[in-house]
Amino acid sequence: MRWEINGAGIVAMLSEKLLDLAFTRAVKHGSLEMTTAGGRRFTFGDGTEPQVSIRFTDAPAQMALCLHPELKLGELFVEGRLVIENGTILDLLQLLLQDTHGELDELPLHRLRKIRAKMMRRAENNAARSKRNVAHHYDLDGRLYSLFLDSDRQYSCAYFDDPDVSLEGAQMAKKRHIAAKLMVDPGQSILDIGSGWGGMGLYLAQVAGAGSVKGVTLSEEQLEVSRKRSATACLQDRVQFELQDYRLTKGSFDRIVSVGMFEHVGVSSYDAYFQTCRNLLKADGVMLLHTIGRSGTPYPTNPWITKYIFPGGHLPVLSEIMPAIERAGLMVTDIEILRLHYAYTLKAWRERFMAHREEILRLYDERFCRMWECYLAMSESAFRWQDAVVFQLQLAQRNDVVPLTRDYIAERETALKEAEQNMELKRSA
């Protein structure tokens, strides 16, 4: 028993010293007060905002955070072993990331995790695994998403062409921006890979005038909602949604769009993804890929996110995507990198989530609410203080199918905005 007490005391002392060192390095601006499980208090920063106070409930929690901070920060917060007594989880993340630009020290197990993640990436996301991964996140109670997304249930980065625009306006601008880059003309056929709740496909038919839209998804919950929306809009003959893996899709399409789905493909399946897209895209066709990525060097996705929120997910850098595009015989005709747009989007989602927390608590439980608050805060911090961005890649098989200058994007956006306004007038008449 004496050895166990001494051992526990050593763990507590060592973890306190490691946390003191780590927080001293990380927190330069703002104020962080830490109370250990043994009651010792430490302060870090320059005393400015944000001001955050945290408390550990047990010494093993302190050591766990030292050994594996990216995984254990979320776990300890959700379990209530890391208590934020003043401020929010987002405030804490700001203190830890804003001055380090998201760069982590080589703490114990950090290098080992990188090696393990690299080995895990070789495992292919086959159809069965992909469906399980999608169901883990997207087949939750549909009422959850209605409480924090916009009315069209766009669950991807919005486009803030005006910093003061509402979430609904920014999500409409996103659809408009993508449709303009796709250069959708009346009568064309479109494939929507990862069609979500159907908003993009319906927009391309109703506003952009596409002749036919096929949306494929692996989420049964999303499929049901999408089909109901298509029926309500009397568009079943032009907009159809299927529960189907993109690799099993047949046909030939003038346009292909994929928004917020590529993050789930997995590096080992990039070749299959782009080869499939090339086979489905007409020779004079255009594809628009909208995906979260990273602006740094290849690095494993946050382990807490992949364990609890998006299993099988990976945020690629361009150097991981481009070789697969080239091998598929496609060419990149345009690249746009959206910076901070997703931070603004996630801020709006997080605020709406917290405003409806009591309703969500009735749907699930306290642990779920804490987990999703942490997820939204971690994601927002990745776009604010780390290197997460959104790539919009325009792809084609030929170099003559896209105009020589980018003027066409603004011109088509103007025309689409007029079409939106005309639809709204008819709806309200």
Six-digit token pair at 139? Answer: 């087949």
Give the range among 88-102, 182-196, 347-361, 364-378 with minimum mean pLDDT: 88-102
The pLDDT score that the predictor gives to residue 119 is 46
CB 317 within 8 A of CB 296: yes
Q: Tell me the CATH architecture of domain 127-428.
A: 3-Layer(aba) Sandwich (3.40)
Residue 5 has pLDDT above 60, yes or no: no
Render 226-274 in DSSP notation, one character per residue: HHHHHHHTT-TTTEEEEE--GGG--S-EEEEEEES-GGGT-GGGHHHHH
Please report which helix (H) or strand (E) contains residue 335, including its range. Answer: strand 331-338
Beta bridge partners of 266: none
The pLDDT score that the predictor gives to residue 10 is 79
Tell me what percent of the chain is helix, strand and coil, each rounded to the nearest 5: 50, 15, 30
The predicted model scores a pTM of 0.91
CB 377 within 8 A of CB 89: yes
CATH 3.30.1050: does it fit domain 2-108? yes
Q: What stretches of 295-423 adopt beta strand conformation (E)?
A: 331-338, 388-396
Residue 3 has pLDDT above 70, yes or no: no
Tell me the C-alpha distance between 74 and 96, whole Å: 14
pLDDT per position as a tens digit, 215-274? 999 999 999 999 999 999 999 999 999 999 999 999 999 999 999 999 999 999 999 999
Single out the residue of 387, 389, 390, 384 nearest to residue 90, CA to CA.
Answer: 384
Six-digit token pair at 310? Answer: 């998006």
pLDDT per position as a tens digit, 391-423? 999 999 999 999 999 999 999 999 999 999 998
Which band of pLDDT confidence, cut at 50, 70 and 90, is reported for residue 116? very low
The pLDDT score that the predictor gives to residue 53 is 98
Residue 132 has pLDDT above 80, yes or no: no
Beta bridge partners of 71: none
Tell me the C-alpha distance between 375 and 379, whole Å: 6
pLDDT per position as a tens digit, 281-296? 999 999 999 999 999 8
CB 395 within 8 A of CB 328: no
Extents of the domains making up the chain: 2-108, 127-428
The pLDDT score that the predictor gives to residue 45 is 95
CB 313 within 8 A of CB 305: yes
Tell me the C-alpha distance between 312 and 303, whole Å: 10
The pLDDT score that the predictor gives to residue 311 is 85
pLDDT per position as a tens digit, 225-237? 999 999 999 999 9
pLDDT per position as a tens digit, 86-103? 999 999 999 999 987 655
Q: How many CB atoms lie within 10 A of CB 283?
A: 9
Give the range among 6-20, 120-134, 236-250 with minimum mean pLDDT: 120-134
Tell me the C-alpha distance between 11 and 240, whole Å: 59
Residues 6+ apart with CB under 8 A from 136: 310, 311
The pLDDT score that the predictor gives to residue 125 is 59
Burial (CB count <10 Å: 0-12, 13-18, 19+), residue 19: buried
CB 184 within 8 A of CB 204: yes
Residue 113 has pLDDT above 90, yes or no: no
The pLDDT score that the predictor gives to residue 131 is 56
The pLDDT score that the predictor gives to residue 384 is 95
pLDDT per position as a tens digit, 155-206? 999 999 998 999 999 999 999 999 999 999 999 999 999 999 999 999 999 9
